[in-house]
Structure formats: structure tokens, C-alpha cells
Amino acid sequence: MQVFFQAFAGSARREAARLRRSPWDLAMISWLPLLAVAMIWWIFSAGLPNQLPIGVMDQDHSSLSRQLVRFLDATPGLKVVRPYSDTAEATQGLRRAEVYAVVSIPPDFARTVKRGQAAQVTLLHNAQLGTHSGLIQRDVRTAVGTLSAGVELAARNKRGEPKLATMVSMEPIKTSLVTLFNPSLNYEQFLAAALIPALLHILAMTAGAWAVGRELRDGTIAEWLTLSSSGWCATVGALLGKLVWPLLGLGLVGVTAFVWLTWGRGWHPAGSLSWVLLALAALLALSLAMGAFAAAASRSLRTALSATGFITAPAFAFGGVGFPLQSMPVLARGWAELLPYTHYIRLQMEQLQMNAPLHYSLPILAGLAGMAAVLLLACVPLLKSAAGKPESWGGR
């Protein structure tokens, strides 16, 4: 153990001195990740998109159609920004992204309603913008439904039906919707909290690949590993001493981000924030180990960084946050299950949103930590082999 601690301390001091000489390398594990995380939070800080611009094509110009426009504009998620006179103009507005949707009110809208017939209101929306389109459809249905219910209620009251009986007859069967998790539909708590660990996952694997690959590129691997004490313990200690600084730097950024997203923003998660932070530390350790393993196995910094991009860049897309895992094709689902981020984000959602018992999340935490240890140990023979073959050094 003494050999391990000596190698660890010596490697950590050497890496700290190198980071002081290379301010951009230090920035990549300190203030730059913090700045990127702050930008992600700022993007989603509104929580829920609102005041989405829509247009109205009112071909009726009646008091009832104007009332519908007022209802649409009063909905928090919508903002009526301009009228359109015809379909061609409305289509051009959608194509130029002046508005995300156009509500078309047909001619004789009020007259049709007064005759007791169903009037059709058409929503033209850009389904390429999935989030915008879904929110606008929901809010337009709400506004139109409110106006429709008011018209029907007023008509029945005029015919002498009691108000309570009218309300029951209009909706004899009601649906009770109970939102169990993220009831406020807060994108800050949902997307920002999921994107931040994905970003740190990318940076951590990059840092691991860079730290080890740079020694091979510069031909300093033998100096780093102190071959005079070439045992496994010394090699493991040297590797951990090199990776401890990015783990501490990125880990501190992650802790700061989650403390701010939760307690700092007045959100008290249903589950254990401590458990999430432990899992995040395990994910970062595994990411660093993956980067170091890629560099040690390929003996090429360029190849290791390419592997980092291949593995970590699509991790969020395959994590089941934006698209359900169950709906992915077999090969895509298999690839998703191999990625550590997929398992980490499941634990995060279980704890921050669902208040799952800790023993449900324990296998994921143990798996992330176990795989980090396995990959770190797997680096040892690869590094020892590379250190004994100077002809393999210097590769980009």
C-alpha cells in the first residue's frame, strides 16, 4: 500500500504541475464546464415554454370569433402576434417562422354556432417543432373547449335547464388525470437536469483519454509510470493520481449544478439527492476510466478521442429521455443498454422525480462503480506494455 500511495501522490503532484503550466487543460475541467452547465440551466430556466407566437386567420369577424381570439391570447402558453387574411399568407408566416401555428376561424362561424350546429376551427401547426406543436395543440384545445362549453351552457340555460343539471349532462363521464411525477411539466427539472450529466459524461471521458493519450503522444509515459517501481500497485496509483484532478473538478461542477437546480431553485426532490450525487460521481469515474482505457488500448490520442465522441456524444439520444427505450429497434435498444449514461439517468429520474426506494437504485450505482474499477484495472497491463515499447510512443 505504501507503494500505491507514493505513486498516487507523485502522479497527482506531477499532473497538478502540468495543469498549472497548461491553463486551457485546467479550464476544461474547471471553469469551462461550469460555464457550459450555467448556459444549459439558463436555456431552460423559464421552466415551461410560454407566450408561443401564433397567428389567427379570422374569416368571420363576429363577436364570437373575436371572443375566441381573446381566449387564445389569454392562455399563458400562447400569444396572438398577428392576423392573416388568407391561407397563402398564413403559410408563408409559418415557413418564415414568424409564428409556430395559425388558428383558422371559418366564415359564418358565429351563425353556425347559433343554429346549433358544430363549427370547425382549424389549427395549422408546424409538427417539425415537436415541443412547440404539442404545447400549442394542448392550449388551443383548452381555449376552444372553454368557449364551446360556455356557448353550450348559455344555450341550455336559455332553454330553462338548471345550471348544475346542464353541467352534468354536458359531461356525464369525467376523466381524472393524476400526474405522479413532474406535475408542473417543468423543463428545467426534466431536460436541464438530464442534459447536465450528459455533458459532464462527455467531458470526463475526453479528460481521461486526453490525460493518458497525451503521455503516449509526448513520449513521457515511462517517466510518468516511474518504471523503477513497476508493480501493479504503483501503476494503479499513478493512473488514479492522474485522473483524480478531472474527477474532483468535474465532480464539483456536478454537485454545484444539482444543488442549484434543486435547493437553489426551490425544488425539493422527492427522493435522495445524495444518492444521485453518488451515482454522478460513479458515472464520472467510469467515464474517466473509459477514456483512459481507450487511450491505453489504442496507444493513440486521436483514436481515443474519436472513441470518446462515438460513445458519449449520442448518449443522451439513446438514454430514453427524448425517445422511449421500449420503442427503439432491437439493435438501438441493445446499444442504449451498453451505454453507462442510460443506466445513470434512470437512477436520477427514480430519485429526483419518483422517490423510488434506494434498493431499487442500488444495482445501478454498484454497476457504475464496479465497471469503473474493472476498466481502471484493465488499463494496468496495457499501460505497462505500452511503457515497454518506445516505438509505439509519439502517435497522434
Q: What is the pLDDT of residue 229?
A: 57
How many angstroms separate the CA atoms of 305 and 307, rounded?
A: 5
Pick the range with the lowest mean pLDDT from 149-158, 168-177, 319-328: 168-177
pLDDT of residue 125 exceeding 80, the answer is: yes
Q: Give me the sheet containing 101-105, strands edge to edge.
A: 78-83, 52-58, 101-105, 122-125
> Kind and range of the H or E element at 279?
helix 273-298
Residue 194 pLDDT class (50, 70, 90 cuts): very high
Q: Are 84 and 90 in contact (CB under 8 A)?
A: yes
pLDDT of residue 169 exceeding 60, the answer is: no
Q: What is the pLDDT of residue 212?
A: 95
Q: What is the pLDDT of residue 171?
A: 58
What does the pLDDT average to over 63-73? 92
Q: What is the pLDDT of residue 155?
A: 63
Among residues 209, 366, 199, 383, the alpha carbon closest in space to that of 289 is found at 209
Length of the chain counted residue by residue: 396
| Contacts of residue 16, Cβ cutoff 8 Å, sequence gap at least 6 | 245
pLDDT digits (tens, 9 = 90+) for 220-253: 898 898 754 568 888 999 999 999 999 999 999 9
Residue 159 pLDDT class (50, 70, 90 cuts): low
Amino acid present at 153: L
Q: Are 239 and 12 in contact (CB under 8 A)?
A: no
pLDDT digits (tens, 9 = 90+) for 353-392: 888 999 999 999 999 999 999 999 999 999 988 888 877 7
What does the pLDDT average to over 90-104? 91
Among residues 215, 218, 191, the alpha carbon closest in space to that of 319 is found at 191
pTM for the predicted model, two decimal places: 0.88
Q: What is the pLDDT of residue 128?
A: 84
- 273-to-86, 252, 326 alpha-carbon distances in Å: 54, 15, 27
pLDDT digits (tens, 9 = 90+) for 31-43: 999 999 999 999 9
What's the whole-number average pLDDT of the chain? 89
pLDDT of residue 168 exceeding 60, the answer is: no
Name the one residue in this structure whose C-alpha cell is 488500448.
297
Q: Are 290 and 246 in contact (CB under 8 A)?
A: no
Q: What is the pLDDT of residue 289?
A: 98
Among residues 224, 250, 352, 291, the alpha carbon closest in space to that of 32 is found at 250
pLDDT of residue 297 exceeding 70, the answer is: yes
Pick the range with the lowest mean pLDDT from 183-197, 222-236, 321-335, 348-362: 222-236
Beta bridge partners of 80: 54
